[in-house]
Structure 1
Amino acid sequence: MGVHYDMSEASTIGWQTSLNPLTPAEWSELLAEFADGNFYQTHAYGSVSWGRTSLTHLVVREADIARAIAQVRQIRLGRWFGVAYVRWGPCARRRSETWNSAAFREALASLSREFVRCRRWVLRVVPNLFQEDEQASTALQVLQETGFQKDEATAPYRTLRVDLRESLEEIRRRLDGKWRNQLNAATRNGLEIEEGNDEALFRRFLGLYDEMMSRKRFETSVDVREFACIQEQLPASEKMRVALAGQSGQLHAGVVTTAVGHTGVYLLGATGQDGLKSKASSLLQWRMIEYLKGAGCDFYDLGGINPEANPGVYHFKSGMGGVEVHQLGRFELSPSEARRRLLHWAERWQKALRRWRRKIGR
């Protein structure tokens, strides 16, 4: 039996919706209006990671005010099939306002009408909401009522989130005792911190990152060069924040964060051999807490955790006083169960092919 989806003929009375590719400047201006805007919804991220021609933009308005938005990646798979993908969206919480469940529903319904009903594609969304958020149960109800199914085969994003709404004194008090001691030691070590958002700082970070990767020799799916290209395209208001710590001209550690929306996110980190002794990473993470709080962020997302696969990083992050949270997950809407299964089969085959190519060194 096929998956059911919203069959409304038109937008609910009072809503005006549009779905068109917008320029980087147009989209950036809209994204800045939303507290749940985020790095993965920026035009630069979509253009570099997916290709600018694959992007389109949904805007749901009420009385000429944007109430929900979503950047959509369009993936055509043959002449009659494709996937529409929304990562960390739709955004439905304007700054200084509460999350708008009605606008969220209308955004999902509009995407459904275009991609599932008209094009017969699979629609895939990963909302920027966590199971621990107060609006989680409402969002899950809306997703269910609009016909979406949760993809149980994909593990939801799991992270630690530091609450920045308290004073810096209270945030520091919540640090694990050992972590706080490392921060105090790093402060006494006389490290010099450089920070900003220019490309030169990012290039210096890349050098340190390459040094760390050659030392640790582990595989990663993260393409730091892609992040460098994104940084070049981001407008000033959305640029990533780079912070480097060193001594006597030698870099010890570096971090890269984003402050788009009300939640800052830790994106990249690197520690040199000297940094392991100087505890420079602790100093930089505290500096990012200060920066993000000053930038108006309510939370600091520590960039994901995997205690089983990466216990060392988990141990470090768990000392920062954050609370473990889990995203709602990935949800799909399809014109038929057969198309949904076909998509999953094709993705499994593609992953197997990539693993085989890596194994033979191609």
Structure 2
Amino acid sequence: MNVAPDLKTTAGMNEAAMRALEPRYVSPADWDALAVQFCDVIHEQTECFNALRWQPSQLERIAFFRDDVLVSGAVVLLVHFPFMNTGVAVIKWGPLWRKRGAAVDRSILCETISALKTIYAEERSFFLSFFPRADAEVSEIEEQALREAGFYQGEDLDSPERYFVNVGISLDEIRSSLSQKWRYNLKKAENRGLTARIVEGPAGAREFMSLYQEMMDRKNFHDTSAIYTLGELMVADEAALRPLVVFIDDACGEPVASAVVDVAGERAVYLYGATRDKALPLNAGYMMHWEIVRRLQADPNNRWYDLGGADADSRLHQFKRGFVGKAGVISTTPSYYHFANKTHIRFLGELLYFARRMKGRILRRLHEVMGGKKN
């Protein structure tokens, strides 16, 4: 059984631990080797993912050391205001502050947030934004640290609930935790001749994208995800950052469902899924997610399987809630947190976020209208 980390602040800090953190900017080539040293690493805090989404000039990687020992770090996305040498600095699902195998020390988080605030908001006058991670155990700790550092709470997500399956217990315990309906549907799937397989490397990306594109065409789905990064992620230099790609085949050997899961840190994250129409009557989704859990549970580095979000009144909500079961957690994704040391910077930063939200809503509405006409 995997043992939960101690989330209490480390007491009795010695003189060495009291010394200030030393910031060092890290090259793109060196960042991922540092990132995988943290159990809270996630794709949004890696170079292999961000380099495919943003221009090199928009990314900075900053690590913090004490006595030449790596302590924490973050990938920072910079969005400059027009005609200004400043803008918005975004840290999404960061910073990285929990080293693998080390006791959880809240003071490291607080020091890191303070250092990032000094560098980006105070010295360089950026509108500094944190997107705290949705985490079954540490979200509250991170939010409290941000508030203590003077950050104010920003906008909420449209569907903030997030679903976590506890994979730090035995498979029997996980299965017993499932809702009765979930166990029933899983058993039906297991009796229908479905088989699971893992496909690694570029072959996994190609096969998944074939199934995904077929689903997109069938459902007229409006995709705003970073799915185009999958091929490169599957050959990332750091093997730990390569996603897990699971396929479920029917009795004839035809793939009917597939999923891509980020397994870099202790919290594995469901990234993308694809199905054929026949997947639903075969209960293939139940088999697929159970196979993912089975593989995650076998690795002591994994503690949670993050299923993402869902609208509270949707069928997907019922599916995920039943899968989370009694041993899992349904938590609320934290709001964004912002800080600016100048009034006009705060105004411009909030204006940028407002424009971003409006653009997203307009695009979604246009897709709904155009999709309706097409059908």
Specify the TM-score bucket, using the shorter chain as the normaliser: 0.7 to 0.9
How many angstroms apart in 2 are the aligned matches of 1:86 and 1:351?
A: 18
Equivalent of 1:307 in 304, 312, 330: 312
Measured after TM superposition, the shift of residue 152 of structure 1 is: 3.6
Q: Matched residues, percent identical?
A: 25
Unaligned runs of 5+ in 2: 1-16, 371-375
Judge conservation of contact 1:38–1:88 (CA < 8 Å) in 2. Answer: yes
Query: Is 1:93 the equivalent of 2:61?
Result: no
* Counterpart residue number, 1:281: 285
Residue by residue over 1:312-354, the C-alpha shift from the partner in whole angstroms, topping out at 9 and shown as x without a partner, is 2222212212320123321111122332222222333355456
CA distance 1:157–1:90, shift in 2 (3 Å): farther
Aligned to 2:168, what secondary structure does the other structure show?
A: coil
Query: Is 1:68 the equivalent of 2:72?
Result: yes
RMSD: 2.4
Equivalent of 1:183 in 170, 183, 186: 186
* Counterpart residue number, 1:334: 340
* Amino acid corresponding to residue 260 of structure 1 in structure 2: A
Judge conservation of contact 1:15–1:60 (CA < 8 Å) in 2. Answer: no
Unaligned runs of 5+ in 1: 1-11
How many angstroms apart in 1 are the aligned matches of 2:57 and 2:238?
A: 19
Query: Is 1:294 the equivalent of 2:298?
Result: yes
Measured after TM superposition, the shift of residue 184 of structure 1 is: 1.4
Equivalent of 2:35 in 31, 35, 49: 31
Judge conservation of contact 2:159–2:309 (CA < 8 Å) in 1. Answer: no
Query: Is 1:345 the equivalent of 2:351?
Result: yes
Judge conservation of contact 1:83–1:121 (CA < 8 Å) in 2. Answer: yes
CA distance 1:270–1:137, shift in 2 (3 Å): closer
Equivalent of 1:16 in 1, 21, 24: 21
Give runs of ≥4 in structure 1 deviating > 6 Å: none
Judge conservation of contact 2:233–2:243 (CA < 8 Å) in 1. Answer: no
164-173 vs 146-155, which deviates more? 146-155
Equivalent of 1:161 in 161, 164, 167: 164
How many angstroms apart in 1 are the aligned matches of 2:48 and 2:169?
A: 32
Measured after TM superposition, the shift of residue 153 of structure 1 is: 4.8
* Counterpart residue number, 1:128: 133
Query: Is 1:269 the equivalent of 2:273?
Result: yes
Aligned length: 345
Judge conservation of contact 2:159–2:310 (CA < 8 Å) in 1. Answer: no
Measured after TM superposition, the shift of residue 261 of structure 1 is: 1.2
* Amino acid corresponding to residue 33 of structure 1 in structure 2: Q
CA distance 1:52–1:274, shift in 2 (3 Å): same
CA distance 1:343–1:126, shift in 2 (3 Å): same
Judge conservation of contact 2:28–2:61 (CA < 8 Å) in 1. Answer: no
CA distance 1:28–1:169, shift in 2 (3 Å): same
Aligned to 1:210, what secondary structure does the other structure show?
A: helix
How many angstroms apart in 2 are the aligned matches of 1:242 and 1:185?
A: 23
How many angstroms apart in 1 are the aligned matches of 2:291 and 2:33?
A: 28
Judge conservation of contact 2:92–2:132 (CA < 8 Å) in 1. Answer: yes
Query: Is 1:241 the equivalent of 2:247?
Result: no
Measured after TM superposition, the shift of residue 244 of structure 1 is: 0.8
